[in-house]
Structure 1
């Protein structure tokens, strides 16, 4: 079926999201590995992505792990540095699709406060036709329910949605609902896929 709308993940598709890399540069790889083994920082972030209060979630985690408290608080205090830089080539793809008249949606695991921070820094996040942000929805990928809510809201048949995400589990969940999918591993492959679909 032809594509009627293109759906973008944000982290590692439009904005780099590599917390380990950021911490490696600040505290060294060995100490970072020790911390990530001791503290489920990605689990903490998942709580935020599902609607948990950003500051409270990070500060509660820091209090629970006093040996790592200062480093954990960096996640909150330096968050914008963790979510950087923009992937300019993919931003260009987003804009080309819109200029061609293709509806473009965002479907991303993102906290309410962290998305507001990112939106202020990256104005292109305001350029989507529709945005589905997990913190606002209190649902997160790869839960089937978040895909169902997108379908119900946008009115596009699942088989007419083309979804790009960097995580295989998110892609697989969308495919199970009948969405067309692309496992994002860089702008070049995404351009090739969109050209094959006649969208660029």
Structure 2
């Protein structure tokens, strides 16, 4: 199981996709945050509302010259920075018969974009995401739902994420998990996790 934002997709700018939003589209990132993301994102990310359904009326009020479709396309394209080094490390693992899945907090349109247009479907066997599941990391039900849908028991899953809270939550659900920051190889993290699991085994347990 592999996280997306901060792991498979790593933006070169600290401010992410909206770094040059005001320059390029005339829209203030802070205004977008307060008018759209703060009130609407919780419902969108959990699949309770559609992205365009909530974004269009907000833009009609604060930037009527800007179409929701144009902003969404800009957003997704500016965020499309794949970590090809990680994908290269994952390829031989998958070639060896290990199933690879994305386990990510996304809404429906972005999940479809990264899967189809960024062609992550060529590198992974499936995607499990928040809007489809109705739960987001680090909630325990996210990990339980992913495990159930994947058909693998928690003990069979190894997971990488760039947030420690998500790693710890996954471990509480019985997953083997490691923090990914791009400084260590995937092989070393997997080896360390395997050693940790062996050391946790106690005689007579």
TM-score, normalised to structure 1, is 0.76
Indicate yes or no: 2:133 matched with 1:137.
yes
Shift of 1:174: 0.9
Indicate yes or no: 2:5 matched with 1:11.
yes
From 51, 56, 61, the equivalent of 2:53 is 56
Shift of 1:63: 4.8
Determine the C-alpha separation between the residues in 2 that align with 1:63 and 1:169. Answer: 37
CA contact (8 A) 1:58 1:72 kept: no
- 177-186 vs 126-135, greater mean Cα deviation: 126-135
- For the aligned residues, what is the CA RMSD? 3.0
Q: Which runs of 5+ in 2 are unaligned?
A: 195-205
Shift of 1:179: 1.2
CA contact (8 A) 2:87 2:123 kept: no
> Could you say which structure has the greater relative contact order, defined with CA pairs below 8 angstroms and 6 or more residues apart?
1
Q: Which runs of 5+ in 1 are unaligned?
A: 1-6
Residue of structure 2 equivalent to 1:24: 19
Determine the C-alpha separation between the residues in 1 that align with 2:137 and 2:181. Answer: 18
Residue of structure 1 equivalent to 2:112: 116
CA contact (8 A) 1:91 1:124 kept: no
Shift of 1:134: 1.9
Shift of 1:86: 0.8
Indicate yes or no: 2:147 matched with 1:188.
no
Q: Which runs of 4+ in 1 moved over 6 A?
A: 68-72
Determine the C-alpha separation between the residues in 2 that align with 1:182 and 1:151. Answer: 17
Residue of structure 2 equivalent to 1:96: 92
Structure ID, larger Rg: 2
Q: For the structure 1 residues 53 and 19, does the alpha-carbon distance in structure 2 shift closer, same or farther, using more than 3 Å as the test? A: farther
Task: Spell out, residue by residue over 1:136-178, the C-alpha distance to the aligned partner (whole angstroms, 9 max, x if none).
Answer: 2222222211211122233433133111111222222212112
Task: Spell out, residue by residue over 1:97-134, the C-alpha distance to the aligned partner (whole angstroms, 9 max, x if none).
Answer: 10122222221111112222222322133432332122
Aligned length: 188
Residue of structure 2 equivalent to 1:3: none
